[in-house]
Amino acid sequence: MEFILAVAIGVLAGSGVWLLLRSRTYQVIIGLSLIAYAVNLFIFSMGRLRMNAPPVLKSGAGINPLEYTDPLPQALVLTAIVIGFATTALFLVVLLVSRGLTGSDHVDGKEPN
């Protein structure tokens, strides 16, 4: 399971960097989103991969930290998803305005010759 997750994070990050280096603005935005997804998966995996483990401690008996899942990475990823959605929406608005003003969707505003 850890290997599959590591490969998924690597593929997302690699694809994001490749798209980030493209000349069209829409591809740059998609590349930033893929990198954000890779970082979110990485942060989520830092909370240990556990199946059927409760994220919140029960009151009462002794506490064994190995039986529980860390809720902090889950909260951080949820916050990062919301912030990533907002910044992607902002980037898309900037892309549309830039395309309207320059008539081109290239990063530098010029069509290649």
Residues in contact with 16: Cβ distance below 8 Å, sequence separation at least 6, in sequence order: 31, 32, 33, 34, 35, 36, 37, 38
**CATH number, position 87:** 1.10.287
**Tokens coding 16:** 């994001």
Q: What is the pLDDT along the chain (113 residues), one digit of tens a residue?
A: 789 989 999 999 999 999 999 888 889 999 999 999 999 999 888 876 666 766 666 666 677 767 666 778 888 889 999 999 999 999 999 888 988 888 888 877 677 66
Domain range holding 28?
2-49+70-102
Cβ-in-10-Å burial (0-12, 13-18, 19+) of 16 comes to buried
Judge whether 23 lies within some domain: yes
**Entry pTM:** 0.76
How many structural domains does the chain have? 1
